[in-house]
């Protein structure tokens, strides 16, 4: 009689977590950033049929990386939850926090179940508020934990490197064109430190715009509008660099004993 093969619970959970992380890392990254008028979602996604970013409810949007069929099932479940809760109670009772808790329970149950493999997905649920201080962004890894994020967040691919790049450069009150430029710059950097060129056709971009008069704040940024915003962001950056150089030259000419310092 053969001896049954034993794996400790700790090792089994570690193996399941490693399996899920490897699947998520194979996907192209998604970044989410706050800007002056709301929250922007930017994904490297050349497909026009399969979306990584979607609307859930009036002020709530969803972004994901990993296996499409798995996070699409989660998205549909979230829409059903939001519609039912909004119909049963009130539309204001549908919140990103409540939706994140539902997703956390689902992902946690699947991750802990020995009968099925863990989902290879990582989610972001965001809600735009009346002001920047009221915005909510939640990141949900494969194990169902919830991380409350502020300012910027990246998931999928080389998310650690992208997240560090965003954290160093993102600031409050940026315009939509500025955060789009920053998002594209971060996504263009590969794991080896090199840079690629990403065009508007390779990007999926959407916003939760608090200034929209409609009850629904979600809007996709497509085609010509996206190209113009990317060009505007590049022009603004170039203008800023030129004005910085001019001011340094002026200060240098005023006094030869003074030295000027610039921040990257």
More confident position, 242 or 156 = 156
Checking DSSP bridges between strand 218-221 and strand 203-209, what pairing results, if any? antiparallel
Across the chain, the runs of DSSP E, i.e. the strands, are 30-35, 38-44, 53-57, 60-66, 121-127, 136-140, 147-149, 152-155, 203-209, 218-221
Calculate mean pLDDT across residues 2-23: 84
CATH superfamily of this structure's domain 13-249: Aminohydrolase, N-terminal nucleophile (Ntn) domain (3.60.20.10)
Percentage of the residues of the chain whose pLDDT score is greater than 70:
84
DSSP string for residues in 37-104: TEEEEEEE---SSS-SEEEEETTEEEEEEE-HHHHHHHHHHHHHHHHHHHHHS-GGG--HHHHHHHHH
Indicate the DSSP class of residue 7. -
Identify the sign of the CA torsion 73, 78, 81, 82: negative
Pairwise CA distance, residues 30 & 64, whole Å: 7
Q: What are phi and psi of 220, to 5 degrees?
A: -85, 145
The two tokens of residue 82 are: 């939001």
Number of residues in the chain: 264
Closest CA to 230 of 189, 194, 176: 176
* Domain boundaries, given as residue ranges, for the chain: 13-249
pLDDT at 244: 47
pTM for this entry: 0.84
Q: Please, are residues 200 and 227 in contact by the beta-carbon 8 Å criterion?
A: yes
Pairwise CA distance, residues 153 & 155, whole Å: 7
Indicate the DSSP class of residue 134. G
**pLDDT, tens digit, 9 for 90 and up, residues 225-255:** 999 998 887 655 544 444 444 434 433 444 3
pLDDT at 247: 39
82: pLDDT confidence band, cut at 50, 70 and 90? very high
Percentage of the residues of the chain whose pLDDT score is greater than 90:
70
């Amino acid at each position: 009689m053969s001896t049954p093969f034993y794996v400790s619970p700790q090792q089994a959970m570690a193996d399941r977590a490693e399996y899920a992380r490897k699947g998520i890392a194979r996907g192209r990254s998604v970044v989410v950033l706050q800007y002056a008028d709301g929250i922007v979602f930017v994904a490297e996604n050349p497909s026009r049929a399969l979306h990584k970013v979607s609307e859930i409810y009036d002020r709530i949007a969803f972004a994901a990386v990993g296996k499409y069929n798995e996070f699409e099932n989660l998205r549909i479940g979230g829409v059903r939850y939001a519609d039912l809760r909004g119909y049963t109670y009130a539309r204001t009772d549908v919140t990103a926090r409540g939706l994140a808790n539902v997703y956390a329970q689902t992902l946690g149950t699947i991750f802990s179940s020995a009968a099925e493999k863990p989902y290879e997905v990582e989610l972001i649920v965001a809600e735009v508020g009346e002001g920047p201080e009221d915005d909510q962004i939640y990141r949900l890894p494969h194990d169902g934990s919830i991380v409350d994020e502020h300012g910027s967040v990246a998931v999928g691919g080389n998310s650690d490197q992208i997240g560090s790049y965003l954290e160093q450069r993102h600031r409050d009150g940026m315009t939509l064109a500025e955060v789009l430029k920053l998002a594209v710059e971060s996504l263009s950097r590969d794991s080896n430190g090199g840079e690629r060129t990403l065009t508007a056709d390779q990007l999926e971009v959407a916003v939760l715009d608090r200034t929209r008069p409609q009850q629904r704040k979600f809007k996709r940024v497509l085609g010509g509008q996206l190209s113009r915003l990317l060009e505007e962001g590049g022009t603004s950056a170039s203008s800023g660099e030129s004005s910085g150089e001019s001011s340094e030259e002026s200060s240098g000419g005023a006094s030869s004993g003074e030295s000027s310092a610039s921040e990257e």
